[in-house]
Structures are given as C-alpha cells and as structure tokens.
Chains A and B, each alone.
Chain A
Amino acid sequence: MMWKEKYRVGAELIDTQHKELFHRVSNFIQAVQSPQPWENKLEHVKETMAFMQDYVIIHFNDEERFQAEIGYPELERHKEIHARFRAGVQGYAKRAADEGFTEELIQEFGGRLMAWLIMHVAAEDQKIGQFLRSQQGGSHES
C-alpha cells in the first residue's frame, strides 16, 4: 500500500483523487512486479497506462481549479510542475505505442511514476494544505 495519511492535503476532492491515483499506481506496480509471464500482465498494463493518461489530466485540472478558487499564490508554478508530470506520462505512453509495451520499458515507467507521484504529493501538494490551513486560521481539520 503506497498511500499514507501524511499525504492528506485537507480538501476532500483532492484527497480522494490522490488516494485513487496511489491505489491505481500501487496495483500497477503489483501487476508489473508479479511473477507471471509478461503476456498475462499486458492487458492490465495497457489499461493502467490509458487510465493514467486520462486521470492525471482530470485530477490536475480539478486541482488547478481548486487552487484558483482558494487564491493559491503558487498556482502558475504548480501548473508548470503538472505540465512536466503530464508530459512524462505521455512520453512513456508514446514510447510504448512506438516501441511496444516491453517489460523493461513498463518497469522503467512504473519506477518513475511512483517516485514522481510520491514526491509531488508529499512535497508540492502539501504546500496547498499549508496555505489552506493558514487561510482558515489554523482551525481546519482534515
């Protein structure tokens, strides 16, 4: 299980979507690392790649809308970080489409995706929570 309670930002929609992302990435890693033959995992791998491409766009759009609503001062910087994350996922999706869904490539993607997600949620997104709490006078409970 990759999700940790310390990753909570304190906004229900964002936390729910983060949990879903961690859940999907966790399942993806389990599938990629399971001892079954690669052919048996391919369908799940392709499904998750497609899901990640769609879901990061939905989640990042929702998160950016939320940041705009609360007047988050680092919105533009955060948008740039999201753009790089999205480009990273799309880059691997393109490579998989061009080169094939090889075990080596998908393992590499899984490792990077996991590190990106943890660092993004554990560091950058926590700043949204800090801002939110400062706006609520420190009385907000997540």
Chain B
Amino acid sequence: MKAEYINAFYLATQDVFKLMLDLETTRLGMRVTDELVPFREANVVIGVTGDLSGSLLYSFPKHMALEMVRIMAGMEMKELDAFVTSAMGEMANIISGNALTRLFEHNYRCDIVPPQVMIGTGQSLSMATPSAIVLQLQTAIGNFEVSISLRTK
C-alpha cells in the first residue's frame, strides 16, 4: 500500500477529531498485520469500492467511545447502545468520506459502503490484501487504531 493512502486516512482522522471533538490526534506508530481483527470493544467497519477496494476498521476502547459521544452530546453515556454506536458509525463514515476526498486529489475515485458497527473483540474480517496497515493513534481521551486494507483495481 502506498504512503498516500495511509496519510489520507491519518489526516482525515486528525481533521474530524479536531472539528467534532476538539481533540488533537497524534500518531503513536504503525504496524503491519496479516489479519483484520477488532482488538477493542467498539469497532466500525467500512467497505471501500472503486479504484481502491477493501475494508477499513476503526477500533476504539469502550471508555473512549463513550467519552467521544459524551463530548458531542454534552451528556454522560453509560452503554454502547444504538445511539452511541450510531454516532460512532457516522463519525467513522465522515472520516472515511473525508479521506476519500483527499485520495480523489491523487486521482483515486472511490465510494464507501455504509458503516457496520461491531461490539467486542475477536471476530476476524475478510481482507482485500495479504496484509493490512494498522495506524496506532493517541488522543487525550485514549488510544485507538485505524486499520487499512485496500488494493488497487
């Protein structure tokens, strides 16, 4: 996978976190994995079609997901209920859409499939590539991962 894919998702995540949550996001590291497995409690999977195709996985610890939605709603959230997971799904959708706009500037035309939220860890997802890049990100309210498994048409 080319660096411009990864950077587009990193920059889009940074932008959306700043705009929607007033949070700075920094990169802790990056690793390569040969399977796409949610390793946090709150996960959003988004499919990508077009010049690039595959899957994106946003993986958040429960306490962080609840805090993200608390910041948006201005009220405490107790459970990963349909309200919280829907807001998380939409936020991941916005980040992905923003990243695809950036990729369009590099002449990749892609669309996204509506988000699917998965609660819990362990369930392996199918990958478009033999390996995926996992971006490890840090904010003041917790650390999370964005996994990118995309292949060129």
Contacts and interface: CB of A to CB of B under 8 A. Distances in A.
Interface of A: 1-2, 26, 29-30, 32-33, 103-105, 107-112, 114-116, 118-119, 122-123
Given A1-B74, A111-B87, A114-B73, A119 B16 contact: yes
A118 B147 CA distance: 25
Contact of B86 (A1, A26, A33, A107): A107
B24 interface: no
Interface stretch (B26-34, B75-83, B119-127): B75-83
A29 B90 contact: no
Nearest to A34: B75
Contacts of B90: 111-112, 115-116
B118 to A, nearest CB: 15
B104 to A, nearest CB: 14
B74 A2 contact: yes
Contacts of B69: 111
A26 B87 contact: no
Nearest to A102: B82
Chief secondary structure at chain A's binding surface: helix
Q: How large is the interface on B (under 10, 10 to 19, 20 to 34, 35 or more residues)?
A: 20 to 34
Interface in B19-76: 19-20, 69, 72-75
Contact of A115 (B75, B81, B87): B87
Interface of B: 16, 19-20, 69, 72-75, 77, 81-91, 94
Contacts of B16: 119
Given A1-B74, A115-B94, A119-B94, A108 B20 contact: no
Contacts of B89: 111-112
Nearest to A26: B74
Given A109-B86, A122-B20, 19 more contacts: A26-B74, A30-B75, A103-B82, A107-B81, A107-B82, A108-B83, A108-B86, A111-B69, A111-B84, A112-B86, A112-B89, A112-B90, A114-B87, A115-B20, A118-B72, A119-B16, A119-B19, A119-B94, A123-B19
Contacts of A107: 81-83, 86
A28 B75 CA distance: 12
A116 B94 CA distance: 9
A116 B87 CA distance: 9
A3 to B, nearest CB: 8
Contacts of B81: 107
